[in-house]
Amino acid sequence: MRALTVAATQMRCDWDIDGNCDRAEALVREAAGRGARLILLQELFETPYFCQDQLYDFLELAAPFEGNRLIARFSRLARELGVVLPVSFFERAGQATFNSIAIVDADGAVLGLYRKSHIPDGPGYTEKFYFSPGDTGFRVWDTAVGRIGVGICWDQWFPECARAMALLGAEVLLYPTAIGSEPHDATLDSSAHWQRVMQGHAGANLTPLIASNRVGTEPGRAGTSITFYGSSFIADPTGAKVAEAGREEEGVLTATFDLDAIAHQRRSWGVFRDRRPELYAPLLSLDGQAPTRPLR
């Protein structure tokens, strides 16, 4: 038996960057105190969700992966607590900027990074203004607690991302996110849809899943605002929610899984045995036709 306690967290963010980091650290400490060894913080927790506006000044928030102060701080914390800790950050790499996540192992070692592959663009969520499409490809990481796969927010709507990580051997899927109300239509509420899509990833791949979102209302600079859904959750390998946060409060969720038993369940169910990759050529194109030239 390989029992692993995992944790999802959620919190508010404002323009007190040190305060945001302090709150995030407090949540990690709480989760570790409750036995969690794999702890997920939300997407871009260092600041408010600045993609609500298109302002060149916000590009100055990006920082390189090497020598990154945020990653260094949470690397020290991971080492102190003996926990695995993905750390979301706004990355500058040469002339490009990415929505990235650093994977910090339980000894504080930074194993590398993943850059968000799917970049959304819509009212209030204008990420294409800030982020280049990620160029790392989907990745998994051998950590002290097992092999994990991490996607970022909009990645969670694409089953190909989850399946790729599962095929690469991910034993747990993690999605830090920032999702809330739609500034252009207050009647839209995608929170349940958001959960169900990821529950499907867990069930289809027989892999536990952790999703961490932010809470609170964040005003934009042009008179708009987004109220984030919270509703962070943990799903078991059948897709059932085993822990769920509310829509407003900050906090920590935990759940414990037997990774060996789940591995046996995954092998026994046959969904990987019965795959037919030779039939999936339409997935390699945007229009459903087998591609005749490389996609750009």
List the catalytic residues: 43, 116, 153
Cα distance between residue 80 and residue 259, in whole Å: 24
Q: Is residue 39 within 8 Å of 85, Cβ to Cβ? A: yes
Q: What sign results for the dihedral spanned by CA atoms 44, 50, 54, 57?
A: negative
End-to-end CA distance of the chain: 45
CA 164 to chain CA centroid, Å, is: 15
State whether residue 196 is helix, strand or coil: helix
- DSSP code at position 182: B
What phi, psi does 257 have (nearest 5°)? -130, 150
Q: How many helices, marked H, and strands, marked E, lie in the chain?
A: 5, 16
Cα distance between residue 74 and residue 87, in whole Å: 7
Cα distance between residue 137 and residue 215, in whole Å: 29
- Host H or E run for residue 268: helix 259-269
Q: Is residue 63 within 8 Å of 92, Cβ to Cβ? A: yes
Q: Is residue 262 within 8 Å of 207, Cβ to Cβ? A: yes
Cα distance between residue 199 and residue 207, in whole Å: 10
